[in-house]
Structure 1
């Protein structure tokens, strides 16, 4: 179907690399050679991958989109939304960590979906995952162009878009090493920026700012109230925002093929997700609700998307009008990282799908630097969706795109849990022991079934607020992608007569890490099994 061609299967892997490749201890230059199966370059270091989940997920969505979530549901809904989606994200990462540590080959959960479920299912997962990053990329371009229009409207909005589109395209073509290094340092800047805001929020709430007449305490929880007058309706509306903010925690699996030692780097990055959820997401939700009123005029009808950040509103209310430029500069830095991450993840998703015959074959081509040029161009081109803000305004464009990406996030995350359940079923039926696994998911099977059920439930109810009063446009925007997943699966399956694998039919050896003892040793090192407590805390962030 669609002229896609399935390439030959790859050989077994040992420690994340083909068994005939270099052994541990060889020079790093050898490890950076081109991957023979995907054509990409193994140029990401462990510290790059560790920061990728952090760098890719702290973007304008968190810093700016939280304003819309706060206005819709109030500070209590924001905390509940971040908390619930955070638990789901942690569950998803546990499932993904167990499977990808054993099968670190290119394509991440797309290849895993084909292996453990069905090729048609893999097509549906892959294209829905691409939709997530196409939507996230569009919103990031939406934010970055709006910031520059706010600073100077002498250049039209579409002019700023073309400038940044070209700049990001050129940077991506340099190679994965430049991308990884940039992400690492930008992630550190983001951490420092958020930490500085958290300190400001504590001082502001305590009444310690110079010239501040009184402490604000928790006054915004009393007026306009914890729910901003919307009750459970507001909580439901917040979920779709929060799912978009969390999208990207699973991206470490996509980058594993371009990492020099995925057997160490992937479990290490997954182990850090818990701390990132607590510090970044729950911290942001708490301090945004503490320092910014949910009924602030800037959140409701601000003319510029850059003015709708809770951070900007809080600094302006504290009496520093010029602080808007500082916050916009910080948001701009997050945009640099977030746009780069979105283009990277979206293009690699297309690349790995094309290599497995799930997308047009020309998208699998890479140049001498290991860069998938056509996949990059196509992914970056989709960012032009952001230009709808020329006619609708940045705020409405942001809301439309968030709704599209939110339901796809729930569907992809639910698919990861389903893949994990199918993997464990095949592992058990074929007489394998869980003790053989290099990395074992916490609380299996409860966490996997929880992840599957919770994501399906949220995919169904995330557009509930559009039903009463019924708004046809918003309803279509919220649910149009929900039937797309089964349609892609069924149509591809019927045309290509794909096979839904039974547990005893699943191939558990192709592409698997052969040396499980070595894999366990690497995973123990990555997760800090023999480290002191202070070393574990340090590694959780660095």
Structure 2
């Protein structure tokens, strides 16, 4: 039995299907929707729902590409292990470390958002203090056993799910029946009364796709949970197939209601769009309640991200692509060394909130977008290589396939390349195009300097 198998047996199979559903949901619905949506709305106006729909279709293809491989060969290494096997050792190395890096910077964005939401109640509290508190709290949660983590994340994520659905229902009652508006239906005038449905034209939609794709970062967490899932053959396909419905309800549905209820050019002036909508409904203390919900949403997404960083470092160490110390597990079966290492680096976000609190979210979002696009790109490339490595009969026998393959993979790759190009034209965001080559250069040097692993890692999932 290989060292990887011995280590994987120590990971507890403590995540049920409901845990996995909420972990993937918690990672995807966080700061990007509740806080970052104000930025995308300013770019696209009411047409932001169209931007999320376009991006959502691409995300669905990416997740089905990952699911095709995960169901055929379920491993805890997920797309890093697949890239290692079907593309090459450096692809697995680059994917694993880039995905870890993505969640570190996304974690920075999440605790940055925490600072903004705490300021709603306590304006005098520096954002870096709130960020530090969030970091310490979520690190403690991630050091418990995986079942307890899953249970915590389930209820944490459920708070925001119920809130979004409640906002949509209340919004529809206002739109059609005048609920909370003196019995006068609000109607749909806000969709075109302030410069039209596309006030900034098609250009606004195209530019908004950059932040839209950032907000989707986290859906691929489904693949990371495979090593600790009780029944990955059932839970992974179910979770992936629900991605498109989550996007339609939680992104397209929620933002469409916001655009109908509130003039797009006033959104974001006084906080989160979700806070403004509930305040408009007229429920006493609604803004305070919703601010608590979006605070929990940011903590939930950060929690899922920290879970992911620990597991990715663990898997990289099993492939000899990270220091062996990361393969050590605590008595409760958690990769505590990787979690603590990631938490330590997240202190950078606390420092950034101290020196540039107004710009930190834009900078972090830009870097995270490049990192997640890199991971998605390698997932698609690996799926194409995965198909080529199979005989026609083996492909026909796959129980969970990428629809319209290989064309859907090529279309998705072209779309991701387009998003990267658009990043170069957005001030503040284009800094990521400078950071990305530096990061890849660091990875290449690290790969060349690492201790050779022979062929063991390439055979680990064969």
Tell me if TM exceeds 0.5. Answer: yes
Question: 1:457-477: CA deviations, max 9, x gaps?
Answer: 2222233234xxxxxxx2642
1:354 partnered with 2:324: no
Separation of aligned partners in 2, 1:461 and 1:498: 38
> Which structure 2 residues correspond to residues 373-522 of structure 1 after superposition, within 5 A?
373-387=336-350, 388-394=352-358, 396-428=359-391, 433-466=394-427, 474=428, 476-484=430-438, 487=441, 490-491=444-445, 511=461
- Where does structure 1 lack aligned partners over 5 or more consecutive residues? 1-6, 12-34, 467-473, 513-542
Separation of aligned partners in 1, 2:76 and 2:400: 19
From 137, 158, 172, the equivalent of 1:167 is: 137
**Once the 2 structures are TM-superposed, how far is the Cα of residue 438 of structure 1 from its aligned partner?**
3.2
1:366 partnered with 2:329: yes
**Once the 2 structures are TM-superposed, how far is the Cα of residue 484 of structure 1 from its aligned partner?**
4.5
Change (3 A) 1:38 1:381: farther
2:320–2:451 CA contact under 8 A, matched in 1 = no
**Once the 2 structures are TM-superposed, how far is the Cα of residue 361 of structure 1 from its aligned partner?**
2.3
Separation of aligned partners in 2, 1:369 and 1:219: 56
**Once the 2 structures are TM-superposed, how far is the Cα of residue 98 of structure 1 from its aligned partner?**
0.8
**Corresponding residue number in structure 1 for 2:73:** 103
Separation of aligned partners in 1, 2:168 and 2:243: 20
Separation of aligned partners in 2, 1:486 and 1:143: 28
2:143–2:334 CA contact under 8 A, matched in 1 = yes
From 273, 291, 299, the equivalent of 1:336 is: 299
Separation of aligned partners in 1, 2:364 and 2:207: 14
- Aligned to 1:427, the other structure's residue is in SS state coil
> Which structure 2 residues correspond to residues 66-105 of structure 1 after superposition, within 5 A?
66-76=37-47, 78-105=48-75
**Once the 2 structures are TM-superposed, how far is the Cα of residue 343 of structure 1 from its aligned partner?**
0.8
Question: 1:166-194: CA deviations, max 9, x gaps?
Answer: 22222111111111112222333222111
**Corresponding residue number in structure 2 for 1:31:** none
Change (3 A) 1:211 1:288: closer
**Once the 2 structures are TM-superposed, how far is the Cα of residue 207 of structure 1 from its aligned partner?**
5.5
1:293 partnered with 2:299: no
- TM-score normalised by L of structure 1: 0.78
1:227–1:234 CA contact under 8 A, matched in 2 = no
- TM-score normalised by L of structure 2: 0.90
2:68–2:402 CA contact under 8 A, matched in 1 = yes
**Once the 2 structures are TM-superposed, how far is the Cα of residue 333 of structure 1 from its aligned partner?**
2.3
| Range with bigger deviation, 382-391 or 358-367 | 382-391
Separation of aligned partners in 1, 2:155 and 2:285: 26
Separation of aligned partners in 2, 1:322 and 1:248: 31
**Corresponding residue number in structure 2 for 1:18:** none
Question: 1:23-75: CA deviations, max 9, x gaps?
Answer: xxxxxxxxxxxx63374222111221122211221113211211111122211
1:59–1:335 CA contact under 8 A, matched in 2 = yes
1:53 partnered with 2:24: yes
Question: 1:347-390: CA deviations, max 9, x gaps?
Answer: 21122112212222222221111111121112223333333233
- Aligned to 2:389, the other structure's residue is in SS state helix
**Once the 2 structures are TM-superposed, how far is the Cα of residue 411 of structure 1 from its aligned partner?**
1.7
**Once the 2 structures are TM-superposed, how far is the Cα of residue 493 of structure 1 from its aligned partner?**
6.1
Change (3 A) 1:264 1:213: closer
> Which structure 2 residues correspond to residues 170-181 of structure 1 after superposition, within 5 A?
170-181=140-151
**Once the 2 structures are TM-superposed, how far is the Cα of residue 227 of structure 1 from its aligned partner?**
5.9
**Once the 2 structures are TM-superposed, how far is the Cα of residue 154 of structure 1 from its aligned partner?**
5.9
Change (3 A) 1:455 1:140: same
**Corresponding residue number in structure 2 for 1:310:** 273
**Once the 2 structures are TM-superposed, how far is the Cα of residue 480 of structure 1 from its aligned partner?**
2.2
- Aligned to 2:36, the other structure's residue is in SS state helix
1:133–1:343 CA contact under 8 A, matched in 2 = yes
Aligned length: 459
Separation of aligned partners in 2, 1:223 and 1:498: 63
**Once the 2 structures are TM-superposed, how far is the Cα of residue 409 of structure 1 from its aligned partner?**
1.7
**Once the 2 structures are TM-superposed, how far is the Cα of residue 233 of structure 1 from its aligned partner?**
3.2
The runs of at least 4 aligned residues of structure 1 exceeding 6 Å deviation read 496-499
From 171, 174, 192, the equivalent of 1:204 is: 174
Change (3 A) 1:289 1:249: same
Structure showing greater radius of gyration is 1
2:43–2:208 CA contact under 8 A, matched in 1 = yes
- Aligned to 2:346, the other structure's residue is in SS state helix
From 193, 197, 214, the equivalent of 1:223 is: 193
> Which structure 2 residues correspond to residues 259-298 of structure 1 after superposition, within 5 A?
259-296=229-266
| Range with bigger deviation, 456-465 or 82-91 | 456-465
1:236–1:465 CA contact under 8 A, matched in 2 = no
| Range with bigger deviation, 336-345 or 437-446 | 437-446
Separation of aligned partners in 2, 1:40 and 1:186: 23
Question: 1:75-99: CA deviations, max 9, x gaps?
Answer: 11x1222111101110011111111
